[in-house]
Amino acid sequence: MFRRKQVVDGRSQFGLSAELEGVLRVRVDVVPDSPTVRWEDVHGAARGVVYSLIEAQDAALARELHDKGWRGKSLKPVGVAGPLFVGAPLRRGVFTTSRDGSVWFGSPVPEIASVLVRSLASCSELDWGTTRLSVRGIALEDGFPGVAGEGLVELETLTPVVIKHESRNLLPGDEHFVERLAHNLAHKADLLGLPAPRGLRVLEAGPRRRFAVRGAPRIGAKVRVELDADARFVEALRSWGMGLDTIQGFGWIK
């Protein structure tokens, strides 16, 4: 899914600090080799890319996440988003690209995040399905501005949030959507040993989006929400995402 650069120290290649603890979220700037990305690859390729990156540095960790989840829980605390291309021309029914692309990776678990960053630091290309993305740089992203302690915060997603109730895909405004999203967030907080957020409200929602992932539909919408949360959980969520299938690129937070 990706190719390595032959470098002595991948971290210095991109100006990264040798100390990676606490690094949770990284942006990868890319240039595609094609004017379009197949729709089935937009989210369908994400999971394979993530596991490939982790496996290159720690095969045991990749196997554990894939087969079991994290530390006895089925949850996989990894988020990914993209590819997103600035200035891509609009064409109906076609996912177009530009030479100014980005992909994001993250994890609220420092051990996983560090493995991702170290792998990306020596990565020259990402195979996003049938589209090859040349890596031109990576950047470690700063924390969420203005978040400290505990209190109300607004979060907006870059990609659709996937939520289900009894195997049925839910959209914002559907019965049980807020309830199931709140349950998802509480489940994630429990895994991380952090207080669960409260008072979840959907402030705004985008249009319904449908993607095919491994032959199955994923239906969701981008959202802007308000919640009362511990600042540590807000930071963790920005590296993981809201809702289901975050390892497939859903629910990534701006």
Amino acid at 129: G
pLDDT at position 5 is 41
CB 78 within 8 A of CB 236: no
> Is 239 in contact with 155 (CB distance < 8 Å)?
no
* Angstrom distance (rounded) from CA 46 to CA 33: 17
Into which CATH architecture does domain 2-140 fall? 2-Layer Sandwich (3.30)
> Residue 146: what pLDDT?
52
Task: Convert the pLDDT of each residue in 109-145 to its tens digit.
Answer: 999 999 999 999 989 999 999 999 999 999 998 765 5
User: Over the stretch 98-111, which tens digit does the pLDDT of each residue have?
Assistant: 999 999 999 999 99
Domain 2-140 and domain 150-248 have a common topology: yes
Domain spans, the chain: 2-140, 150-248
Q: Which residues of the chain have pLDDT under 70?
A: 1-23, 143-150
Q: What CATH class does 150-248 carry? A: alpha beta
The structure's pTM equals: 0.89
- The dihedral of CA 64, 60, 25, 95: what is its sign? negative
